[in-house]
Structure 1
């Protein structure tokens, strides 16, 4: 991808440190999850206020008196507010996702030339702007339309998808193939740590302090992340590249990603396409369902408050810890495809249960079934990186980064779009049933790609060298 005078030398894999991008990933995930939980509640509160709708979750009228009477004006207004909240969330996600689709590709390729540090810094700056915009809107009670500024700008500089993609590429640059699976799984666990802490603190924090204090915390943490990467993250290239910004805007990354995906060496192009499609479906369903759940449980018949929403979201983040433990323990008794299939099947059961939930305990049971939801993601990433040349790994992660953006945006369009249409019908959980059906598609697609690849010829012991050797 570079000419001779622009050749970039990456640091040797044995120079990898135990801790590199992980603190940034944890902090960023904390911000993303906390903002996802609180932003929907804030938008719901603002829309309810516009309709002169009471948000008191402690009175019996909030649910008990109306959940069995679908003609009650309170019930109809509740459903209208929930529907409008889902619509606002959909518009904001699309405004963020469309520019992020292109910027993630450009920044990923830029990182191949100048190192991963600069693209991560740019996306972290976008995160600072995003949190700042939300904070200003909350403090001055500005129109919700001002939120589009933060969402669009954050998308233009890569958003969360670029931070994850560049972090994965960074780990790929500084680790050996034998170390990679575990390091990716640890990074996934870092996502769970940040998300778990954010979820468990969001409810009580919001009830006690409102929306301003949590967003001030997110603002401070976003500044810390930026400074940490700027000062402490070691560049993964040996020397500085002159004129770094002239490499940013180019059609070359799109061409190179296309070339990597179309290479017919050992039939890998079909495997990569199928793996990417599986990953996109997985991300779309995971982000779509999680994003919708907050809106779903605020309304009738659940009418949860912030504390219960936080506990519920925290349980969902446990999946990252469980996934790492499962990879470590069950690798001795099972294969990667089997573990992936198990994670998908439990997620299907969970989504199907959400569709028909009428009580709180059923929702928590459905969330408990999602503890293996994060299991397929590191497996797909690791296997995709194994079937390409070392100098193509960055492009593969770039493709997966694009599919993550497409999945996040597409998931919002599909599932929240369905909820907007069905929220005031007799089956408001229709979106979750659609999610369960779509998740079924992953199994035949994945197994078809796996059986076509060289991965099938690898023994389980070979595939899990990293898991048995690394700690």
Structure 2
């Protein structure tokens, strides 16, 4: 018997994603700390090891460790960029013919391989530089962006009304947020009580359970008649998917194409900023003057994840009194304020108050996905989300690489510089949304291409 609820798989992958990121960052930080100098590192007493006196050798050592950890994260991100981009695009584009489960399964396999390797790496105390090889290999199977995009396409397939699409996408984001919040709250205790080996093993088990659910219990959202078993070479497949993406924009009118491009660029730039500052934020909190330990970082991650739930509530309530595009404006402006506040945060209380301004940080992403899905026929949802995931993968890796690089250069003289830069970049999505609003006003309303019949030239290509 097949079920058509992707939320259980979303639940498990949200747990994996929110636990994997802080664990990997802190594992690399710990290994670099121990291999760089003679200072001991104990997670249960991290504050004592974070130098407050700028003239002390420990303070200079801690800054050097932060710089090395940031640069290694940069190398880690770049190593999987090209294979991840290619696999994400091909897997999601092919989901229009093969079904949405296809990219879900392969991306889950890649995530499983990565965490099994992390478990072995920490158990045998292998050189942490080997992480680069595992990231490169697993990227060929897709990544979290691939999985989330497939899930969004899955729920959109089941929606008929525009408002229903926005709410269903927001529900997926909310599920991710609730699980991420609980997991982030406990991530420090995972390290403290279980250590890295058992923590990575638990993550691998969770991915395996999700994989079993998708393969054996989850039904495909597309009708059997629309699924095709297409056998072609890799080159032919890549050419076919690129052609489908080209036709997605070519067959639209000038205004529709402009609107879709504006919404897509708005989402990618906003995603670029929010993803880029995430790993830097952990390093910022580990460093002086905050000197957070792993438990405080877990609390911070948990409070960050509350924004998924509050974003869902905001979308649900605001959708009754305003257009979706205004909800996106609210989310962008509040996020901008929170990022500026982070640059000047020097105390633990201030860092937690920053999270209040981030309560609607997810709302623009949910709304923009919904707006773009309305502009595309149901037969091309996979192609659309392939474009989104491709650009998110590219933007995410470039963002983490760029922000880690900038932070490593500026941390010695002003750690908050990278946050002020991020706030300035967010002005671009605001301008794009203003232009999109002007276009939509000229049209009278958003023109739903999904109401048209499927394009014959697209289907034949």
The TM-score normalised by the length of structure 2 is 0.90
Please, which of 203, 217, 220 is the counterpart of residue 202 of structure 2? 217
Report the counterpart of residue 389 of structure 1 in structure 2: 377
Report the counterpart of residue 208 of structure 1 in structure 2: 193
Q: 1:173: how far off?
A: 2.0
- Of 51-60 and 199-208, deviating more is 51-60
**Aligned pairs for 1:328-339 within 5 A:** 328-339=316-327
- Determine helix, strand or coil for the equivalent of 1:332: coil
Please, which of 436, 440, 447 is the counterpart of residue 423 of structure 2? 436
Report the counterpart of residue 107 of structure 2 in structure 1: 123
Report the counterpart of residue 163 of structure 1 in structure 2: 147
Contact kept, 8 Å, 1:387 with 1:454, in 2: the verdict is no
Q: How big is the alpha-carbon RMSD for the aligned residues of Structure 1 and Structure 2?
A: 2.1
Structure 2 CA distance for partners of 1:244 and 1:167, relative to 1, 3 Å: farther
Q: 1:202: how far off?
A: 0.4
Question: Does structure 1 residue 421 correspond to structure 2 residue 409?
Answer: yes
Name the CA distance, whole Å, in 2 between partners of 1:34 and 1:225.
15
Contact kept, 8 Å, 1:24 with 1:229, in 2: the verdict is yes
Contact kept, 8 Å, 1:348 with 1:439, in 2: the verdict is yes
Structure 2 CA distance for partners of 1:368 and 1:455, relative to 1, 3 Å: farther
Please, which of 68, 92, 111 is the counterpart of residue 108 of structure 1? 92
Please, which of 362, 379, 404 is the counterpart of residue 374 of structure 1? 362
Report the counterpart of residue 400 of structure 1 in structure 2: 388
Please, which of 151, 176, 189 is the counterpart of residue 135 of structure 2? 151
Q: 1:101: how far off?
A: 1.1
Question: Does structure 1 residue 136 correspond to structure 2 residue 116?
Answer: no
Q: 1:121: how far off?
A: 0.7
Question: Does structure 1 residue 54 correspond to structure 2 residue 40?
Answer: yes
**Aligned pairs for 1:26-105 within 5 A:** 26-51=11-36, 52-56=38-42, 58=45, 61-63=48-50, 66-67=51-52, 69-105=53-89
Q: 1:221: how far off?
A: 0.4
Contact kept, 8 Å, 2:174 with 2:312, in 1: the verdict is yes
- Determine helix, strand or coil for the equivalent of 2:102: helix
Report the counterpart of residue 10 of structure 2 in structure 1: 25
Contact kept, 8 Å, 2:71 with 2:404, in 1: the verdict is yes
Q: 1:246: how far off?
A: 5.3
Name the CA distance, whole Å, in 2 between partners of 1:121 and 1:59.
39
Structure 2 CA distance for partners of 1:80 and 1:437, relative to 1, 3 Å: same
Displacement over 6 Å in runs of 4+: none
Q: 1:60: how far off?
A: 7.0
Name the CA distance, whole Å, in 2 between partners of 1:244 and 1:26.
33
Contact kept, 8 Å, 2:119 with 2:200, in 1: the verdict is yes
Structure 2 CA distance for partners of 1:271 and 1:408, relative to 1, 3 Å: same
Name the CA distance, whole Å, in 1 between partners of 2:391 and 2:342.
25
Q: 1:193: how far off?
A: 2.3
Q: 1:203: how far off?
A: 1.0
Structure 2 CA distance for partners of 1:454 and 1:162, relative to 1, 3 Å: farther
Q: 1:266: how far off?
A: 5.0
The TM-score normalised by the length of structure 1 is 0.88
Name the CA distance, whole Å, in 2 between partners of 1:48 and 1:371.
34
Q: 1:211: how far off?
A: 1.1
Deviation sequence 1:215-243 (CA, Å, 0-9, x none): 11101101101100000111234156445
- Of 175-184 and 214-223, deviating more is 175-184
Report the counterpart of residue 352 of structure 1 in structure 2: 340
Question: Does structure 1 residue 250 correspond to structure 2 residue 238?
Answer: yes
Q: Report the count of equivalent residues.
A: 439
Question: Does structure 1 residue 341 correspond to structure 2 residue 329?
Answer: yes
Please, which of 215, 232, 256 is the counterpart of residue 268 of structure 1? 256
Deviation sequence 1:126-159 (CA, Å, 0-9, x none): 1110111111100000011211232112211111
Structure 2 CA distance for partners of 1:442 and 1:230, relative to 1, 3 Å: same
Structure 2 CA distance for partners of 1:77 and 1:440, relative to 1, 3 Å: same
Q: 1:456: how far off?
A: 6.4
Gaps of 5+ in 2: 447-461
Contact kept, 8 Å, 2:47 with 2:292, in 1: the verdict is no
Structure 2 CA distance for partners of 1:341 and 1:88, relative to 1, 3 Å: same
Report the counterpart of residue 238 of structure 1 in structure 2: 224
Name the CA distance, whole Å, in 1 between partners of 2:10 and 2:274.
19
Q: 1:390: how far off?
A: 2.6
Deviation sequence 1:1-27 (CA, Å, 0-9, x none): xxxxxxxxxxxxxxx97x521111221
- Determine helix, strand or coil for the equivalent of 1:441: helix
Report the counterpart of residue 294 of structure 1 in structure 2: 282
Name the CA distance, whole Å, in 1 between partners of 2:403 and 2:85.
19
Name the CA distance, whole Å, in 2 between partners of 1:293 and 1:142.
27
Gaps of 5+ in 1: 1-15, 460-471
